[in-house]
Structure 1
Amino acid sequence: MANWRQEEFGKRPARIANCSGYCGDPPAEMYKQATLGDVDFITGDYLAEVNIAKNAENFARGHHPGYEASAWEGLEMTIDVINEKRIKVALNGGALNPKGLALKVAELIRERGHNLSVAYISGDDLLPEVLKLMPNTRSAYLPHLDSTNSNVQPLEEALSFLNPDQISKSPTEIVSANAYLGARGIVNAFQQGADIVITGRVSDASPVIAAAWYWWSWNATDYDQLAGALIAGHLIECSAYVTGGNFAGFTDKKYGGWKRFVAPGFPIAEVNADGSCVVTKHDGTGGVVNEDTVKCQLLYELQGNVYLHSDSKAVLDGVKVEEVGKDRVRVSGIKGLPPPSTTKLAIFYKGGYECQLLLNAAGYGWKDKCELFEEQVKLQVGEESLGKLDFLEFQRIGVPAENPWDQASSTTYIRVVSQAKDATALLEIPKAVGNISLKHFHGFHSSLDMRTAIPKPYLAYYPALWAQQELQETVHFIDASGEITSSCSAGHPSVYEPLSERSNYDTTSPVTFTGPTRAIRLGDIALARSGDKGSNLNVGIFVQTTRQWDWLRSFMSRERMWQLLGGDAEKSYSLERVEFPHVFAVHFVVYGILGRGVSSSTRLDAFGKGFADYLRDKVVEVPIAILEDEG
């Protein structure tokens, strides 16, 4: 520590650049973050929930390296700059094999003649422990992530991992089981002199938390600071999502028009001693960092007003977002609490097989065509074969335009999606379509070919809870020969706080507006962001002015959200609502709407990303007076 940025260490904000939000982000973004300006740390999140599982079998067979290729490629092209500028790096691109990636990096450092120390973190892979659990004790040791929420009863579909039929199967059907680790292992590695730290499944924000924690020499009980860093990590871990990617307002001319968002730069968080941060980006890069892009990302994939993490809880009721300069937005007001005693354990198992057929129906009489086709297919499949399917749904995708301009705008998809334990059972569906032959509805036509109708195996997802005290998180230093030169435990939090009842309320002081109203789309007055948390969908909606906020919080009640869900609403779902008054935002979680979630979801929008603009497309009555407010 004494030799690393001695003049500045802990005396100014830690400048933390994120280079990846998913394994698909180009490796060159790491090089850009290192070369386009001065940064102290580079962090990278390479793991969506299913990354580890989708490569697990090939890794076990020796057909995959286990780590994410884009993480290695980024390090390979950036290592000289990392060495020259003495930038510290923390990446979760180790995925299934953090040791393997750490060894590759150590070899690269030796080849280039650099003096950099490499460490990796183990302890997230709990597959051996999960496989040891006897089938009849699985439900006792692996409660569902939402089981602690008294307002929610997880859907039967989401609990299928625990049902008797599934339990009777061999436990080797489980493909992967990885716990979400916190930041303490990375901090420990930095404190012992590591320059590059490779992890497997840590939480998305953990590398950023660790960087700020190390820079400011916080204690493990500095919860306000850790919670602030958690939100800083949440804001930048999705790379361009905070600089203009996935931004609801990209068409608005006040942001410069959509061309400004063609190639958004990647973000930087300048984290202060109190945990507050300024979100920014390198000068000259595309996109934009303003209050609205930051608010959108703040509201993305939230659990409500309390963000849970292995090192702290972040209470967001008082969060503030304010522009303090060009492409500079300050985020503050976060309060911290001790962490929960459990962390998320992402379990993926072989769910069986699934198939999808896409058929087209031209506009005239399209609803009757869909109903006729559904009945014809079910008749041909037969009751016995239908009983062998776990799931079968005929989804209508898109509504044909009235008085269409061309045939494409007059067309709707019939999406037939099905899942079953046995691939043979699914083959009855394309066979049934074939048997309909020329008995089909008027104008029937398919999309290109029927290759998607061939059953393919899919991985099912089960989010469990696992006691943090049972984790064996360990830091290992490695040399270029593959030898582990030292190892030490990352330890555990010294204090835990039980999970409290989650907040769920309508506004306490609704405002009644008088005067004329105008029917507009919700998106004409509000921005939003939505995403997934396993089986659940979250969406946050916000406006620009105080009067608009009075209207939004009064209008967007829980009952109103049920109404706006329309045909997507089901009695089995649960709904939670909270408010963030300083950012003029209402936030909802819809529990159960994504089924089992992740790779198991059968919804067209399996990750809930399009839900926000579906909601913003709804026509609502808005007081004309507040439409005249300038945001």
Structure 2
Amino acid sequence: MTLRIGNASGFYGDRFDALREMLTGGELDVLTGDYLAELTMLILGRDRLKDPGAGYARTFLRQLEDCLGLAHERGVRIVTNAGGLNPAGLADAVRRLADRLGIPVRVAHVEGDDLTAAHPGSLAAHAYLGGFGIAACLRAGADVVVTGRVTDAALVTGPAAAHFGWEPDAYDRLAGAVVAGHVLECGTQATGGNYAFFTDAGPGRDLRRPGFPLAELHEDGSCVITKHPGTGGFVDVGTVTAQLLYETGGARYAGPDVTARLDTVRLRQDGRDRVRIEGVRGEAPPPALKVGRNRLGGFRNEVVFVLTGLDIEAKAELVRDQMADALATSPPREVRWELVRTDRADADTEETASALLRLVVRDPDQEAVGRALSGAAVELALASYPGFHVLAPPGKGAPYGVFEDVYVPQGDVPHAAVLDDGRRIPVPSARDTRVVEEPPEPPLPEPLPAGPTRRAPLGLVAGARSGDKGGNANVGVWVRSDEAWRWLAHTLTADAFRQLVPESRELTVTRHLLPGLRAVNFTVEGILGQGVAAQHRFDPQAKALGEWLRSRHLDIPEALL
């Protein structure tokens, strides 16, 4: 008996008509939507400050107005975390919408994740719940289930547990569902979106509009990842591998329902646009739940000076000195300069003859980053380097957020399913738990025999996918042949990563080997400062860190090229 679970959203702001596409494009039993991320919770928290009735993804309601009737006609249940900080509010709004449209649906929601009151100073503090609250709603007959902060994979483990009758100790089956959920959660990233080898897609694979993914999930926890017929993009072992590595760390991928062993995942092509995932093993979940805490960190401002033509370094030095003098009487707590050499010699446009010098300041006091910076920068307009101008004048300074991870015992979180008639079903915490410890590193494969090498970009051989977890970044790197794996495993060490990514040289870089995926996964601690909302670096979510790594040159065996 197969459960067909699709995804129609990978983030708040994803393709609006994806809900309709998934409902009309082929058969489905459950349609999920993932709207939450660390930054989204901060955005929703700020919305709730202005309006206590807000705090959920309003886009979902507009999508549902168009598609609730379709889902009801086709018997497709909808499960979404669009409830954000206010799942009860969104559930009520869906009921009002259904009544107005005359569609008889039962709407339930999951709550218990909101721990803000227990974390003074937080704008939002929410525990990552598992899937058994969702399962309780579905077992009680809900047609639409709205949650707040659950793990992304819970949108799949919940429906799977309800459908197949899994108990909380069905660890291998739950782990298989977690892996399926992790592949689906980011939508079109599993079907060719943001894919390192996109130029190899081949004929008949239109990447302009990738279709959204779905999983054909089986009772034993295995699944096939695919997409609706006739939709764009493609699904192969590479696209699934890339998404499996996204925002993960070591071999053990811990969650509130189960710890999935990524080192047991087996992938194989099962036909065009079909990848089978099997062999996934699971272990008892950890005793503590992760809580994502968002708080206001202070105020931030920036100005970007444009440096054109000759003497770029000297121009940058002059304006740095001038700004330091201007800010000396009341300097912001943090001052960060970055010179981006986008210029080139003898350029045939002014833009390509120009470099960008970026100044970012932060301080708890809005005045310290606002008027002082604005005045200092503007006053240099006629008194600095030749060709002085800025991309835009600095404003008064904007608040920025800080994301932090804390952990609480599972039993401290009042996880509950709230049914359409108001009845509450308590969801017990995990009976058995296990502290997560990384397994011993697997043995390295035999190295490639010595032979001629060529200096070339890593990306000619390896793909990569990178992302953020709080202040840390992960970079997963994989190859597509056993020979390339024999080279990669010996060559791309943590030390080699530090050399290729200079800003990581003073940071803790941990490498995890995943031979079954022919992959190495790196965690770079602290490279993103205090998280995406703090905008610590040029690429605050490390989305392109993997692509930068792929562009770096090293000695690659000619046999692989």
Does 2:315 correspond to 1:366?
Answer: no
Letter in 2 for 1:32: E
SS for the counterpart of 1:357 is strand
Which stretches of structure 1, 4 residues or longer, exceed 4 Å deviation after superposition? 503-507
Letter in 1 for 2:377: V
Kindly report which structure 2 residues correspond to 1:195-594, keeping only aligned pairs within 5 A, or say none: 195-252=143-200, 254-256=201-203, 260-382=206-328, 384-386=329-331, 389-426=332-369, 427-447=371-391, 449-450=392-393, 452-478=394-420, 484=422, 486-500=423-437, 502=438, 508-509=444-445, 511-566=447-502, 568-571=503-506, 573-594=507-528
Residue pair 2:38, 2:403 contacting (<8 A) in 1 also: no
Shift of 1:504: 8.2
The equivalent residue for 1:134 is none
Residue pair 2:286, 2:433 contacting (<8 A) in 1 also: yes
In structure 2, relative to structure 1, the CA distance for the partners of 1:308 and 1:437 (3 Å cut) is same
1:408-446 Cα offsets, whole Å, 9 max, x none, are 222221111111000111132232223334332233321
Shift of 1:540: 0.9
1:575-628 Cα offsets, whole Å, 9 max, x none, are 11112212211111101110011202321100000101101111111111222x
Scaled by the length of structure 1, the TM-score of the pair is 0.85
Residue pair 1:506, 1:577 contacting (<8 A) in 2 also: no
Residue pair 1:314, 1:334 contacting (<8 A) in 2 also: yes
Q: Aligned partners of 1:505, 1:401: CA distance in 2, in Å?
A: 45
The equivalent residue for 2:100 is 111
Letter in 1 for 2:352: S
SS for the counterpart of 2:556 is strand
1:23-61 Cα offsets, whole Å, 9 max, x none, are 101332112111111100011111111223223244244
The equivalent residue for 2:90 is 101
SS for the counterpart of 1:31 is helix
Shift of 1:505: 5.6
SS for the counterpart of 2:414 is coil
Q: Aligned partners of 1:182, 1:200: CA distance in 2, in Å?
A: 11
SS for the counterpart of 1:124 is coil
Q: Aligned partners of 1:623, 1:48: CA distance in 2, in Å?
A: 40
Q: Aligned partners of 1:513, 1:207: CA distance in 2, in Å?
A: 46
Residue pair 1:59, 1:66 contacting (<8 A) in 2 also: yes
Shift of 1:79: 1.2
Residue pair 1:358, 1:414 contacting (<8 A) in 2 also: yes
Deviates more, 1:117-126 or 1:422-431: 422-431
What is the root-mean-square deviation in Å for CA atoms of aligned residues? 1.9
The equivalent residue for 1:150 is none
In structure 2, relative to structure 1, the CA distance for the partners of 1:25 and 1:585 (3 Å cut) is same
In structure 2, relative to structure 1, the CA distance for the partners of 1:608 and 1:620 (3 Å cut) is same
Shift of 1:456: 0.9
Does 2:79 correspond to 1:90?
Answer: yes
Q: Aligned partners of 2:322, 2:53: CA distance in 1, in Å?
A: 44
Q: Aligned partners of 1:326, 1:186: CA distance in 2, in Å?
A: 32
Shift of 1:119: 0.6
Number of residues of Structure 1 aligned to a counterpart in Structure 2: 560
Letter in 1 for 2:276: R
Letter in 2 for 1:303: G
Shift of 1:390: 2.9
Residue pair 1:528, 1:541 contacting (<8 A) in 2 also: yes
Q: Aligned partners of 2:480, 2:228: CA distance in 1, in Å?
A: 27
Q: Aligned partners of 1:617, 1:57: CA distance in 2, in Å?
A: 38
The equivalent residue for 1:187 is 135
Shift of 1:64: 5.7
In structure 2, relative to structure 1, the CA distance for the partners of 1:378 and 1:542 (3 Å cut) is same
Q: Percent identity?
A: 33
1:222-264 Cα offsets, whole Å, 9 max, x none, are 1111111111011011111111111111223x5349x821111
Q: Aligned partners of 1:394, 1:81: CA distance in 2, in Å?
A: 53
Q: Aligned partners of 2:492, 2:234: CA distance in 1, in Å?
A: 29
In structure 2, relative to structure 1, the CA distance for the partners of 1:402 and 1:330 (3 Å cut) is farther
Shift of 1:97: 1.5
Shift of 1:195: 1.6
Kindly report which structure 2 residues correspond to 1:28-39, keeping only aligned pairs within 5 A, or say none: 28-39=17-28
SS for the counterpart of 2:516 is helix
Scaled by the length of structure 2, the TM-score of the pair is 0.96
Structure 1 stretches lacking a partner, 5+ long: 1-11, 132-170
Deviates more, 1:98-107 or 1:178-187: 98-107
Structure 2 stretches lacking a partner, 5+ long: none
SS for the counterpart of 1:438 is coil
Deviates more, 1:204-213 or 1:452-461: 452-461
